[in-house]
Amino acid sequence: MFFSDVKNDVAHTFINTVDNNKTKYTIKEYSDAVRARSLQNIIGRPSTQDFIKYMERNMIPNCPVTKADIIRAEDNFGANIGALQGKTVRKKSTRVVTTIHELPTEIIEHHSNVTLEADIMYINEIPFVITTSRSIHFYTVELIKNEKSATIATSIKQLIQLYLRRGFRVQSLHGDGQFKQKTLHR
């Protein structure tokens, strides 16, 4: 006989799978549970309690499913996810509080001049201006409505202002051929 003491052991996790639950029942009982879950889905996915009430009150005529079949389905497959969707209430999330910390003076002293690298990338054919700074490795992503030079220039100017507010000076901006085609003036 095997013995495992897991009271103080964090390395073990025990879960019940459908295959594991299936072994508790005969083949006929399991197939009846499958039929009960299938019928539950067909009639609109009522909660298990409501489904049992329907069976007890004979609200579905000539129904081959019994209360025991419904309970076995719940034991084998767990709660009917379709019955839970739309009936569970979303709880209000806690408010996220953001705090802006002062930059350490060492970072500003050593990396006050910033070199940016920029590119236009597409996600599902939607353009974004992606930038990264070489020395401090600060990444930015901004959605742009089009690829006109005025739109890109506005995005870059806003980015330069962001760096200036934090005490950095953008020394140069490097981009690929897309930026060369659109002349950007500071």
In CATH, what number is assigned to the domain containing residue 136? 3.30.420.10
Same domain, 49 and 78: yes
Contact 124, 182 (CB under 8 A): no
Same domain, 174 and 110: yes
Contact 93, 150 (CB under 8 A): no
Total length of the chain: 186
Residue 57's domain comprises 18-84
Same domain, 171 and 110: yes
How far, in Å, CA of 48 to CA of 41, rounded? Answer: 11
Convert the pLDDT of each residue in 88-114 to its tens digit: 777 888 888 888 778 888 888 888 899
Same domain, 80 and 112: no
Tell me, yes or no, if the pTM score tops 0.75.
no
Contact 185, 124 (CB under 8 A): no
Convert the pLDDT of each residue in 21-47 to its tens digit: 778 889 999 999 999 999 999 998 888
Residue 143's DSSP bridge partners are 128
Same domain, 111 and 177: yes
pLDDT of residue 108: 82
Same domain, 59 and 118: no
Token representation of residue 81? 């996810």
Round the average pLDDT of the chain to a whole number and report it. Answer: 83
